[in-house]
Amino acid sequence: MASCGVDSGYVPYTAYSAKKSFIEKNPEIIQGFVNAMQKGMDYVNSHTAQEIAKIIKPQFKENDLDTITTIVKRYKDQDTWKDNLVFEKDSFELLQDILDSAGELKARVDYSKLVVTDYAENAKK
C-alpha cells in the first residue's frame, strides 16, 4: 500500500476561484480571505494533531476524538499541509497531468494565464 498524498507530490486538492472582474474590484476581500486561509495553514503547521482534532471535532460528530486525531496525525506525517498557499507552477502542471491522464482535461492551460499568486505571496509574509 502506498499513500497517494505522499507519492503524488503537492497537488491542490482544494482551490478557490473568482472572476477576474471581482478580484479587480475587491482586492481587499480577496486578500482578507487568503490571509484567513493562511492563518489556518499556520495553525495546523504549529499545533499538534490532538489540538487540531479538538478544534475540528464538532465538524465530525460521527467520529470520536481518537479517530480524528489519528487522521490528522497521518496528514501531518505525510506533510499534507504546505506552509503557504502559493500555487506553484510544478503543482499546477502535476494537477493538469492527473486530469489529463484521467481523460478529464480537454486542453492544457498556461499557468500564467490562470493562476494569480500575489495574494498568497502577501499572506505568507
pLDDT at 1: 47
Q: What's the pLDDT tens digit per position in 111-125? A: 999 999 999 999 998
Q: What's the pLDDT tens digit per position in 27-49? A: 999 999 999 999 999 999 999 99
CB 43 within 8 A of CB 76: no
Task: Round to whole Å and give the CA distance between 77 and 44.
Answer: 12
**Mean predicted lDDT score pLDDT of the chain:** 90
pLDDT at 3: 56
Q: What's the pLDDT tens digit per position in 67-84? A: 999 999 999 998 888 889
Residue 93's nearest CA partner among 77, 74, 115 is: 115
Q: What's the pLDDT tens digit per position in 87-99? A: 999 999 999 999 9
Stretch 7-33: mean pLDDT, rounded?
87
* CB half-sphere exposure, 63, CA atoms < 13 A: 15
